[in-house]
Amino acid sequence: MTFAQPVVDTVDDGLRAYVWGATATGIGRHPERITDLELRRRTVAIVTELDTVALDSPTRDVPDWVAREVDDVVARHPEIGADGADALRSLLAWMVR
């Protein structure tokens, strides 16, 4: 069985594809799912920003911390919408587990 390649043409699409790959249950890092090289570069740059905050992850109140950190990244990138922010929250929570 083959799955159709999702349309990935916005930053939100890129973040969703990067975080969830081909499924909505497999959180991870899937840059290969973004075929447009410029969009992949922009998406990876945003995720790299998130990587730097993960180094200072807390031991308590993780959901609140995740929300604040992602809100800070989104504030620097107005092209990120609700779907992209959700993907970043999922990725950051997964990274600090």
pLDDT single digits (tens) 80-94: 999 999 999 999 999
For the segment 38-70, what is each residue's pLDDT rounded down to a tens digit? 999 999 999 999 998 877 777 778 899 999 999
How many CB atoms are closer than 10 A to CB 13?
Answer: 21
**SS3 of residue 36 by DSSP:** coil
Total count of residues recorded for the chain: 97
Q: Measure the CA–CA gap between 71 and 68, rounded to whole angstroms.
A: 5
Distance CA(62)–CA(44), nearest Å, equals 23
Q: Please give the angle made by the CA atoms of 24, 29 and 34, to the nearest 5 degrees.
A: 80
The owner of tokens 């922009």 is: 42
The residue that leads in pLDDT, 57 or 31, is 31
Of the candidates 38, 47, 49, the one whose C-alpha atom is nearest the C-alpha of residue 18 is 47
Predicted structure pTM score: 0.86
C-alpha distances (whole Å) from 83 to each of 8, 14, 55 are 13, 10, 24
**What pLDDT, on the 0 to 100 scale, is given for residue 24?**
59
